[in-house]
Structure 1
Amino acid sequence: MITPITRAEFETFWPTFSRVMAAQETYAFAPDMTLEQAYQLWCELPLKTFVYMEQGEVLGSYYLKANAAGPGDHVCNCGYMVSEKARGKGVARALCEHSQQQALALGFKAMQFNSVVSTNEVAVGLWQKLGFEMVGRVPKAYRHAKLGYVDTFVMYKWLANEG
């Protein structure tokens, strides 16, 4: 079940969040971020943040926010995170599909991922299966903890029916 996240749910999700940050393989967030900083970044700054729960356990989360202001405020941006035990079980797909529905309900017309790490092949493949196009490549834009400098992709999907 996907619902708006609570503070208590984020705190339960914190071990997953902090492991992803510490790994430095997918997110350009400070690896030593505190729980308070992470909560503000993931839950307070975005427009909406949701959690995927199954049998009382937090398996994943995503945030949704405008990607830009003014004339670009019709394009949203999302970030997704899934616990290790939930990977490969359709949680990321469910979160992404839910985020697209929420984006449309909130008046957004498109979704853009600004920095998908090229070595995150599972995510890249899933986003492509869900209709996102690679519209750009930024060479050596991410300092991967194990692989050094790797490229990132800008991925985009028009969500609205009209032009």
Structure 2
Amino acid sequence: MLTIRPAINADSDAIWGMLEPVIRAGETYALPRDLSREDALTYWLAPDKHTFVALEDRTALGTYFMKANQMGGGSHVANCGYVTSVDARGRGIAAAMCEHSQDEARRQSFTAMQFNLVVATNTGAVALWQRLGFEIVGTLPGAFAHPTLGHVDAHIMFKTL
């Protein structure tokens, strides 16, 4: 049974264990591939974010953060980032975290959710977000420097909550 709860300091090793392969691959997040553990955790667990972990039998299988996409006039729109453990991919963890994040966003009075940079070559994520009701509202040509494919498109995806 999957449980999703707010992250605590004791989750740092598990979160880093999920983030590091994604950061090092450099294929889906616009983060430096050589980002240190300390800097990655500072980013993922920053005070402006609400960070969660998805657990099964006390094993972390995923993590996500949620924050306001912008300040001021854009603060009613949530923004999230999701990472699933390499060993847990294809098991519905990302879908469960996205559904949880939408419920949490509504609870926190957000009225929409926006993903600012969904790498177009990450076809699994694009398809999942579309299945969960997100629309591609814009495509940024060549906006992501993929480590093996060169400059690839990135989508802005949006959903009213």
TM-score calculated relative to the size of structure 1: 0.95
Match of 1:130 in 2: 132
Match of 2:116 in 1: 114
Correspondences of 1:72-111 after superposition (within 5 Å): 72-111=74-113
1:15 shift after superposition: 2.3
1:118 shift after superposition: 0.1
Match of 2:45, SS? helix
Aligned-pair identity (%): 48
Tell me the C-alpha RMSD between the 2 structures.
Answer: 0.9
Q: Which amino acid aligns with 1:91?
A: I
Match of 2:73 in 1: 71
Cα gap change, 1:62/1:46 in structure 2, threshold over 3 Å: closer, same or farther? Answer: farther
Match of 2:62 in 1: 60
Question: Alpha-carbon deviations, 1:99-146, whole Å to 9, x = none?
Answer: 000000011000000000000000000000000000000000001111
Correspondences of 1:14-33 after superposition (within 5 Å): 14-33=16-35
Q: Which amino acid aligns with 1:13?
A: I
Match of 1:44, SS? coil
Question: Alpha-carbon deviations, 1:72-95, whole Å to 9, x = none?
Answer: 110010000001111110100000
Q: Distance in 1 between matches of 2:83 and 2:47?
A: 16
Match of 2:30, SS? coil
Match of 1:13 in 2: 15
* Contact 1:46-1:63 at 8 Å conserved across structures: no
Match of 1:136, SS? strand
1:33 shift after superposition: 1.3
Q: Which runs of 5+ in 1 are unaligned?
A: none
Cα gap change, 1:130/1:102 in structure 2, threshold over 3 Å: closer, same or farther? Answer: same
* Contact 1:118-1:152 at 8 Å conserved across structures: yes
1:9 shift after superposition: 1.2
Match of 1:76, SS? strand
Q: Distance in 2 between matches of 1:91 and 1:158?
A: 22
1:56 shift after superposition: 1.6
Q: Which amino acid aligns with 1:119?
A: T
* 1:51 aligned onto 2:53: yes
Match of 2:113, SS? strand
